Amino acid sequence: MFQNGGALSRERKIQLNAFEKRAGIRFRSLELLNLSFTHRSCCNEDPSRSLNNERLEFLGDAVLGLAAASCLYERLEERAEGDLARIKSYVVSEEVLSELALSLGVDQCLLLGKGEEQSGGRAKRAILADATEALFGAYYLDSGFEDAFRFVRSLLEPEIGKVLQNRHHKDYKTMLQEYGQKYHRCYPQYKLVKKAGPDHDRTFWMSCELAGSEYGPAMGKNKKEAEQCAARAAYDAIVAGGGLEAARMLQIDSQ
């Protein structure tokens, strides 16, 4: 059922076994594990491969969401629904999942098409995060919900701990948006100031305007990253100008 592009080579089996050992899990079907790492670009360039990891990603997203919600519900008995939702949105984010992928070695196991490989796909956050969700979905199918839940929870609990200790990477765009909505009844506006470099290595500069003040510009390797940096510049400036009260207002999602 899970064969995809022929039998696995001896070298690929060794690689997948090494991944299992590093992740602390064991698959009954290495073909299913292999499928979780198969990006659609690989199938587009290889007619013998008819399946990719997108359906597993869909399933894994549900497993991840339930495991995260359950963990937060049990661990944070006194927290309101809004607090739980904010923490959950962070621990299941693309940023966190891609970092987990790198720590597990998912990047080394990805099967990519030549074009995607050459464009740096092995390091793209979206591809890494999607493959991690696909891994969760594959493990659920292979070993059942209890084992999958235990595995996902072991990965998420340290991330939840970072949030509770205020050691996590903050989503400055979200913080600034909630601050602007609550205290100024407006939203931050981001503007592309300039971009430079070839298509495969672009740098973007974005500015952020909020309540009549402009911050930045700040740069990033894509627009999303540059917007985050501009939002952080705004955050730092507001805190510096408003002292502890501004800092308190901007800490909406840090607890």
For 76-108, letters b (16+ CB in 10 Å) and e give eeebeeebbebbbebbbbeebbbbbbeebebbe
CA distance 48 to 111: 14
Catalytic residue among 61, 142, 159, 227: 61
User: pLDDT tens across 87-101, in order?
Assistant: 898 899 888 999 999
Specify which residues 194 forms β-bridges with: 205
Domain end point (choices 108, 138, 164):
164
| Residue written as token pair 């730092």 | 236
- Give the residue numbers spanning the domain of 233: 172-250
Residues 77, 177 within the same domain: no
CA distance 200 to 121: 11
Residues 19, 42 within the same domain: yes
Q: What is the pLDDT of residue 108?
A: 96
The residues near 58 (Cβ < 8 Å, ≥ 6 apart) are 137
Q: Tell me what the pLDDT averaged over the chain comes to.
A: 88
Q: In what order do the strands lie in the sheet with 203-210?
A: 189-196, 203-210, 213-220
Q: Determine whether 133 is an active site residue.
A: yes
CATH number of the domain enclosing 35:
1.10.1520.10
Domain end point (choices 164, 191, 206):
164
CA neighbours closer than 13 Å in the CB half-sphere of residue 6: 6
Residues 156, 177 within the same domain: no
- Number of domains forming the structure of the chain: 2
| Residue written as token pair 């049990």 | 74
Domain end point (choices 135, 164, 193):
164
User: pLDDT tens across 225-254, in order?
Assistant: 899 899 989 988 888 776 445 555 555 444
Query: Per-residue confidence at 20, pLDDT binned at 50, 70, 90?
Result: very high
Catalytic residue among 31, 107, 116, 133: 133
Q: What is the pLDDT of residue 199?
A: 80
Q: 125-143 vs 54-75: helix axis angle to the nearest 10? A: 80
User: pLDDT tens across 68-127, in order?
Assistant: 999 999 999 888 888 898 889 889 988 899 999 999 999 999 999 998 998 889 999 899
Q: What is the pLDDT of residue 35?
A: 97
Mean pLDDT, residues 25-29 taken together: 97
CA distance 197 to 57: 33
The residue ranking higher by pLDDT, 195 or 199, is 195
Residues 148, 30 within the same domain: yes
| Residue written as token pair 């007619």 | 47
Q: Determine whether 201 is an active site residue.
A: no
Residues 154, 196 within the same domain: no
Residue 166 has pLDDT above 80, yes or no: no
